[in-house]
Structure 1
Amino acid sequence: MKKNVWPTVESIPVSAVTDDRPPGQLKPARMQEIAGATGTGRDTAGGEAVRATGVGTAGTRRRTGARGNPAAEFGFSGDPGQHGDPGDDMLHAQRVWDGTLATNRMDDLGVNTERQRMETKDVTASVSLLVDGWPGDVRACVESVLAHTACTVVALDLGNLDGAGEVLDQLADREPDRVRVWHVAESPHWRGGTATWGVARAKLLRLDTAEVHVLMDTSLVLEGDALTPLVAAVWEGAVAAGWQGRKPPGVDQRDSDDWMEAGPGKVPALTGDLMAVRRSAALSALPEDARYGAGADLELSLRLPGEKVVPRTRLPVRRAREHPVDDRYRVEEAHRNHGRVLAMLEPS
């Protein structure tokens, strides 16, 4: 590689950055405690729409020809004036249902994403990557970020495994204003080296200067603008927003490493494979002593003060393939991180 290679992650110098100033564009973080995952009532499995019940919709059947109340077939009340007793609980429920369906249809049309894009156009956001080999996946991941977002990519190459660092150099040469790369001779701990997840992630946080820092795994590929909804959620007041939410196992399953899926909406924790976070909050929450990311991302998420959310909009993201980890390190460290996370959940 023609670029400078630092001996270790910790040896990379970080220029002075003032992080105690108020965020330039973000709204204040909402400091709400999450007592558990909350659902939204939305059909997120892509199944058949729920038949509406309530004002103006009871017993609705599909008709042919002219329809007296076509809105009712889509779950709307069909009453633009929303007439009726304001204190009627069913009427209130119908209004909420109508609004939710309208929002969901706007999501499907991309209207909300475009609105969010305009609202957050002045928010600075960077996508941070820990590169540990898999050059083909690295290229696909970075190119998808460049194609579908306006974010800067900040990448830390660990050991140029399989030539992945050289791929980053090629992308940086092509897009010098959007791709910033640091190389170290250390290979990652989870592949038998000495560079740990916590130290490497902390270095990326300090090298970055954006308000919103997006943790992304190089095994993921964006198939559309998946980042605007995450950045918008942070801009609105969440401390972090992610692709996938998690909630802890039940009381009788506390020894299990398998956290359950949570969201959309407010969630107790987020996975670190695609998570946007207020950088100023992440700087003090990141577990820098974590050697391996499994479980450490949940610990980071739990340490963040404020709301964590999964957007209601389906994000256009896919995983190219799993990146296996050396079992000598994966099992030991995953259990260690899991134990730390469970300790955080125990009542004091």
Structure 2
Amino acid sequence: MSEVPPNVTGLAERRAKARAEQDHAAADALRDEIRTEGWLVRDTADGFELIPSPSFDVWPTVSSLPEGGSPEAKENGSSGEPGASTAPGRVSAEDEDGAAGRDRSADAGRVAEAADPGRHPGRLGDREAKEVAESEAAPQQTPEGSELVGRADDLDGHPERMVSSQLLWDASLSVSRLDETIVPPADAEEPRAARPTVTVALLVDGHPDELRECVRALVARTEARILGLDLGNVDGAGAVLQELVEEFPRRVEAWHVAESPHWRGGSAGWGESRDKLLRLDTSDVHVVMDTSVVLEGDAVTPLVKALDDDVTAAGWKGVNPREDDKEWLEAEPGEVRGLLGHLFAIRRDTALAAGGFPADARYYRNADLEFSLRLPGTLVALGKDLPVRQERHRRDDGADPGYRDRESQRTYDRVLKLLRAP
């Protein structure tokens, strides 16, 4: 990391003093001044941390993110909703496409070199990863005039092409008029209902290498849109998320905040961040997925298909409580009381109607159970048949063990109230 200039450190110290004195206006002004110097200030348990401004837009906090629309729309001051405007306080950095492009090429090469189809049959191999990238980068094809008809600017001086064009035009008009007179039979099949739109939501809190593999597998093996929320660019994971946006611009969307995760000493809680992803989403089905999960096949479509009749949410792993409510046991495939946050799909409108994700849950553990118990309808788990694997245990998240136990218990106290409610 670059050495922090003394004047920037001084500004950060003045901001820390302003925050301690509850002078929020001065603290915000100093934060903006630090930003103009090319740095971001991030609050930590011990004070603050200064990091160089990245080459992408960064919002100050999770709560400051606008809802609806896309980052590109916000760039033009539009959120897709009447009367909405860009929220103040967003961090903008100069574009560094040349250097970023070189870094992205090197990263893509490292991903391909790391792939080992022999050891992991579901892992993206060199050739498959390359084909995915090429198909994403391929320009849209635009039809040109045929040799028979010719282009409009190529007819002068070619009477035979003009005659051919007129004949084809007359024929198309005749077919069009004939179509207008045909009345479909009464017993004709109803048109198929449109397939639901699907978004996979990722909370990015570090682990950049697994993020690459998670997203590349999603792009290769599903048709879902991918929405990522980067908390504090931990270990450079936010920069990797932005690289994936540029590699797969039609599939991946990213939001970045300077606020780091609560479980890593910051102030962005799991429930608040997950709820923001839900509200940034516009799809019919919202898929919660941990970046440690890698698809070895299309595991998203079976989850979406399971959302039928009374089924509100469908996941990979389900659990049921013991009679004493002190322990949850892994459930067999079928109806369950709780879904684990590794991977599950939910009807987005139902999740919003139920109040969204629990804002008081600052850490993930037990928060997925709290969310599950607040949902109406039936929850189902599909189990081991889903083509999914997990790269690491979710507890390997950099959180202090004492913090994990304390925050887990806070959330589980609320889970017990839900379980024992009449």
What is the TM-score normalised by the length of structure 1?
A: 0.67
**Deviation of 1:197 (Å):** 0.7
Q: 1:61 maps to which residue?
A: none
Q: Max radius of gyration: which structure?
A: 2
- Against the structure 1 CA distance between its residues 237 and 228, is the aligned structure 2 distance closer, same or farther, given a 3 Å change threshold? farther
- Against the structure 1 CA distance between its residues 187 and 265, is the aligned structure 2 distance closer, same or farther, given a 3 Å change threshold? same
Q: 1:264 maps to which residue?
A: 333
Matched residue SS, 1:165? helix
Q: Does 1:307 align with 2:378?
A: yes
Distance across 2 between alignment mates of 1:203 and 1:285: 9
Q: Which has the higher contact order (CA 8 A, sep 6+)?
A: 1
Following superposition of structure 1 onto structure 2, how do residues 141-156 of structure 1 map, counting pairs within 5 Å?
141-156=214-229
Q: Does 1:180 align with 2:249?
A: no
Aligned-partner residue type, residue 146 of structure 1: V
Following superposition of structure 1 onto structure 2, how do residues 1-348 of structure 1 map, counting pairs within 5 Å?
1-15=54-68, 122-251=195-324, 254=325, 256=326, 258-283=327-352, 284-311=355-382, 314-322=385-393, 323-324=396-397, 325-348=399-422
**Deviation of 1:326 (Å):** 2.4
**Deviation of 1:235 (Å):** 4.2
Q: Give the stretch that moved more between structures: 303-312 or 178-187.
A: 303-312
Matched residue SS, 1:260? strand
Distance across 2 between alignment mates of 1:188 and 1:247: 29
Spell out, residue by residue over 1:93-121, the C-alpha distance to the aligned partner (whole angstroms, 9 max, x if none).
Answer: xxxxxxxxxxxxxxxxxxxxxxxxxx997
Spell out, residue by residue over 1:214-264, the C-alpha distance to the aligned partner (whole angstroms, 9 max, x if none).
Answer: 00001111111111110101145410000001101222xx3x3x4101131
Q: Give the stretch that moved more between structures: 282-291 or 266-275.
A: 282-291
**Deviation of 1:343 (Å):** 1.2
**Deviation of 1:276 (Å):** 0.3
Distance across 2 between alignment mates of 1:186 and 1:144: 28
Identity, in percent, stands at 52
- Asked if the contact 1:238/1:308 (under 8 Å) is kept, the reply is yes
- Asked if the contact 1:229/1:313 (under 8 Å) is kept, the reply is no
Aligned length: 244
Q: 1:60 maps to which residue?
A: none
- Asked if the contact 1:120/1:235 (under 8 Å) is kept, the reply is no
Aligned-partner residue type, residue 222 of structure 1: L
Matched residue SS, 1:330? helix
More helix by share: 2
Distance across 1 between alignment mates of 2:373 and 2:293: 23
**Deviation of 1:289 (Å):** 1.8
- Against the structure 1 CA distance between its residues 150 and 300, is the aligned structure 2 distance closer, same or farther, given a 3 Å change threshold? same
- Against the structure 1 CA distance between its residues 285 and 160, is the aligned structure 2 distance closer, same or farther, given a 3 Å change threshold? closer
Provide structure 2 residue ranges, at least 5 long, that are not aligned to the other structure.
1-53, 69-78, 82-191
Aligned-partner residue type, residue 197 of structure 2: T
Distance across 1 between alignment mates of 2:219 and 2:193: 17
**Deviation of 1:191 (Å):** 1.2
- Against the structure 1 CA distance between its residues 120 and 221, is the aligned structure 2 distance closer, same or farther, given a 3 Å change threshold? farther
- Asked if the contact 1:285/1:304 (under 8 Å) is kept, the reply is no
**Deviation of 1:311 (Å):** 2.4
What is the TM-score normalised by the length of structure 2?
A: 0.55
Distance across 1 between alignment mates of 2:64 and 2:408: 27
